[in-house]
Amino acid sequence: MNLNVQHSLKQFGPQAVILMALTVSTIFVYRNIGTCEFVNYDDPVYVSQNPHIQNGFSFGSITWAFTTRYFSNWHPVTWLSYLLDFQMFRLWAGGYHLVNLFIHICNVLLLYLLFRAATGYQYRSAVLAAFFALHPLHVESVAWISERKDVLCAFFWLLAMLAYYRYARRPSVVRYLIVFMCFILGSLSKSMMVTFPFTLLLFDYWPLNRHSPTDEPTAVHFPKKPWKWLVMEKIPMIAVSIIISLVAIWTQSKSMVDIQNLPVLMRIANALMAYIVYVKKMIWPGDLCVMYPLEMPPLWQSVAGFVFIAGALALAFALRRRHGYLLFGLLWYLGTLVPVIGIIQVGSQAMADRYTYIPSIGIFTALIWGVSTAFSRLSTDRVFNYTILSLVTTTVLILMMMLSSQQVRYWKNSITLMGNAVRVTENNYVAHQDLGLALVDKGLYEEAVSHFKQAIAINPVYAEAYLNIGSYYMLHKDYKNAIKSYQKAISLNAGMVKAYTLLGRAFKASGKPVEGEIYFKKAKQMKAADSGM
């Protein structure tokens, strides 16, 4: 038998075991995901009450996917994936969850194959992929139907990097176009892909070492290029990133928090705090939830974030010759979080677990390569060192599996999801609001209204909670208080179309149809104005 064939077969055995182990362990963690329901946080807008998705595949729905700014997003590939799901599953939520899981498993395997090829380290790459597969922070991206854009973007991201590895080994126009097309598809899945060209430059630095050799061994020899050439190589993708960034700002303009209400210093302070809290949750993933309320962080947390970033960068830069993975991992983490770190604030969350799906690869890489390198240089017996390292790694992965399995259970339905958010956070008015809505769906009106009132106690200008309290009064035929609640909601948010309709119904039910008709007409006019969005 040819020696190359023998070598390939010898390598295939352990690799096949690793790929199977990664797949089985991921399925085990998410084994109950097919029984999870749609949740009331974004899922109705994305799928369960989205008439465009429920029209199924057609020329009109495909055109809508590429032209809409629906829900302040432009991600046509993500919309197309939901259209395909609806063709197969209709409104069976389990099908959408299983597709998310399938894409996540693909991402895990792609991550392993990418780092195995680029670094030459089989077991370190396997541990990196296992961390990515099993970490509790990633449950939100996988178990939330509305976060299809996250796993889909990551799929094209990793596929593009694997294609880039092949291109870097043997450059050609065709191979570059494959990278470029994967990048475009990822950008059309989620605008977070805009940092992809930056990560390619990091990949050039480590582990590919395309600029100049370092003191670290490399798996494959790559033709050396000057940095100027490597940057120029990415110009087409950088141009697309700029366009996608501008489109994202335009489409999300309605969701952006008013700058006057959220000064730049507060946004910077929150960003510095978020950087360090994300790392903390990667190391110790406790009190995870779907919504972290936005508040001004304590000064010490922001200062700690700045010191952490500056100190870590200084250390990584000082060690860059022999430990390039440290600078690679840190810059990957810092850079890929930029679009979602809150400098341009979209929504009312301080941070979100789903934002770490791609950025965590940087921290995991630095941690795994750093610990492995440290153990390999201990003066004690080498076999003993690797035995201890294997035991520690196995223990950590088992703990991750246990924590992630529990985290998946919170995604069973809206009550379990928002109940957990209320339990692990303080002053979370959005969680109280959505928990109240979930309780309404179960007919638990008295319990629901208590959560609406708690939401108002936390945030007195929260229009949606007044709207729901008004509906509670309508249910009890207390039209006077219903009208007051709806009017309060409109005074706080004049753009709530539903509030005008409900106020019209309240006036009509109270015996004032003329007043009611005024608000019906107003609601109709507002719907017509928004019909193109």
Question: Could you say which architecture CATH assigns to the domain 415-530?
Answer: Alpha Horseshoe (1.25)
Whether 28 shows a pLDDT value over 80: the answer reads: yes
Condensed to tens digits (0 to 9), the pLDDT of residues 349-391 reads: 779 999 999 999 999 999 999 999 998 888 777 888 889 999 9
Among candidates 226, 384, 357, which has minimal Cα distance to 281?
357
147 — pLDDT class (breaks 50, 70, 90): very high
Query: Which residues contact residue 287 at a Cβ distance below 8 angstroms, ignoring those fewer than 6 apart?
Result: 424, 425
Instruction: Taking the CA atoms of 503, 509, 510 and 512 in sequence, report the sign of the dihedral they define.
Output: positive
Yes or no: say if 285 and 135 are a contact pair by the CB < 8 Å rule: yes
257 — pLDDT class (breaks 50, 70, 90): low
- 291-311 average pLDDT score: 87
- Give the Cα separation of 468 and 462 in Å (integer): 11
Whether 90 shows a pLDDT value over 80: the answer reads: yes
Rounded to the nearest 10°, the torsion over CA 473, 478, 484, 489 is 20
Single-letter residue type at 43:
D
H helix runs in 286-444, sequence order: 299-318, 324-337, 360-376, 382-410, 414-424, 429-441
Yes or no: say if 420 and 431 are a contact pair by the CB < 8 Å rule: no
Q: Domain map of the chain by residue range?
A: 11-414, 415-530
What pTM was estimated for this model as a whole? 0.93
Burial of 324 (C-beta count, 10 Å sphere; 0-12/13-18/19+):
buried
72 — pLDDT class (breaks 50, 70, 90): confident
Rounded to a whole number of angstroms, the CA Rg of the chain reads 25
CA atoms within 13 A on the CB side of 52: 24
532 — pLDDT class (breaks 50, 70, 90): very low
Among candidates 399, 332, 389, which has minimal Cα distance to 131?
399
- Give the Cα separation of 197 and 237 in Å (integer): 6
Whether 347 shows a pLDDT value over 90: the answer reads: no
Residue 256: strand pairing partners: 346
Residue 293: strand pairing partners: 349
Q: For helices 173-187 and 148-169, give the axis angle rounded to 10 degrees.
A: 170
Q: What is the pLDDT of residue 267?
A: 82
Among candidates 50, 148, 65, 55, which has minimal Cα distance to 107?
148
Q: What is the token pair recorded at 508?
A: 């009509």
Backbone φ/ψ region at 258: left (φ over 0), alpha (ψ -120 to 50), beta: beta
- 273-298 average pLDDT score: 91
Among candidates 413, 463, 420, which has minimal Cα distance to 438?
413
DSSP H or E run through 173 = helix 173-187
- Give the Cα separation of 374 and 376 in Å (integer): 5
Yes or no: say if 330 and 313 are a contact pair by the CB < 8 Å rule: yes
Yes or no: say if 456 and 465 are a contact pair by the CB < 8 Å rule: yes
- Give the Cα separation of 379 and 387 in Å (integer): 14
In this structure, what are the phi and psi dihedrals at residue 136, rounded to the nearest 5 degrees?
-60, -30
Whether 253 shows a pLDDT value over 80: the answer reads: no
Q: What is the token pair recorded at 42?
A: 């974004």
